[in-house]
């Protein structure tokens, strides 16, 4: 219905930029000192499980494929790429990406939560995306607030976030303060949202919900 309406407008197609893909997605996973070895593994496997979920694969196929990269973050200079840019088009490519994530080593264990630096790193990663996609999304997961270096507001002033939406996945635990912190300080762009995992055991389900919202776009993402 929307397509037919748009097609009926003179010049509407000519004014639409040409994109080679639907979505470029940067995934940023918390590896700070507050995350123990078990929780780190739950995050890695949770992301891998979500990417291989049949509903997520169906969504990827429905939009014609997406580009994805993932990294672990903690301190100011502690960022480690887990998955280089991959074009996910269906089950086979999602399975390969998930397998690589499960094998990714942990980079650091003793550094604080430098969220502003993680966002800056993510912005640089986004610039390296191999294709010009219709939407650019950074997906930051964490269980705490910024406690080292500059914060998200400074990152947004210092780095290029033009056309980039930043969403959050918060592992709430007994302390719900990080959820409000992400809502007030991390979210950026139209349709930006926070997905909440009550515990690390809920990470895979929360990541699945988040990926579906991000893959299908801002109209879907803005739903409650």
> What's the pLDDT band for 17 if we cut at 50, 70, 90?
low
Range(s) of the domain holding residue 73: 21-219
12 in a structural domain:
no
The distance in angstroms from the start CA to the end CA of the chain is 23
Instruction: Kindly report the pTM of this predicted structure.
Output: 0.88
4 in a structural domain:
no
Averaged pLDDT score across all residues of the chain: 89
CATH number for the domain including 90? 3.40.50.410
124 in a structural domain:
yes
2 in a structural domain:
no
Q: What's the average model confidence in pLDDT over 109-127?
A: 97
195 in a structural domain:
yes
108 in a structural domain:
yes
Total domains, the chain: 1
Q: What's the average model confidence in pLDDT over 160-168?
A: 97
pLDDT exceeds cutoff 80 at 145 = yes
- Count of helices and strands (H, E) across the chain: 9, 6
> What's the pLDDT band for 24 if we cut at 50, 70, 90?
very high
pLDDT in tens, 34-92: 999 999 999 999 999 999 999 999 999 999 999 999 999 999 999 999 999 999 999 99
Name the H helices within the chain.
2-7, 37-52, 54-62, 91-103, 115-127, 152-158, 177-181, 203-216, 218-221
**For the chain, what percent of residues have pLDDT higher than 90?**
84
Residue 217, pLDDT score: 82
43 in a structural domain:
yes
């Amino acid at each position: 219905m929307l397509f037919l309406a748009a097609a009926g407008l003179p010049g509407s197609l000519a004014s639409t930029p040409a994109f080679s893909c639907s979505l470029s997605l940067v995934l940023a996973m918390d590896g700070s000192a507050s995350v123990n070895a078990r929780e780190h593994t739950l995050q890695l496997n949770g992301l891998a499980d979500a990417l291989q979920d049949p509903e997520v694969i169906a969504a990827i196929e429905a939009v014609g494929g997406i580009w994805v990269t993932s990294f672990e973050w903690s301190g100011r200079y502690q960022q480690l790429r887990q998955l280089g840019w991959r074009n996910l088009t269906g089950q086979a490519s999602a399975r390969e990406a998930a397998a690589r994530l499960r094998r990714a080593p942990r980079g650091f264990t003793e550094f604080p939560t430098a969220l502003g630096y993680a966002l800056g790193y993510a912005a640089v990663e986004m610039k390296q995306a191999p294709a010009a996609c219709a939407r650019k999304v950074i997906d930051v997961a964490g269980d705490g607030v910024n406690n080292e270096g500059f914060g998200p507001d400074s990152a947004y002033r210092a780095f290029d976030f033009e056309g980039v939406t930043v969403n959050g996945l918060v592992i709430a635990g007994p302390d719900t303060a990080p959820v409000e912190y992400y809502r007030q300080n991390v979210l950026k762009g139209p349709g930006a949202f926070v997905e909440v995992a009550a515990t690390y055991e809920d990470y895979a389900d929360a990541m699945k919900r988040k990926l579906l919202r991000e893959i299908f776009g801002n109209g879907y993402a803005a739903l409650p």
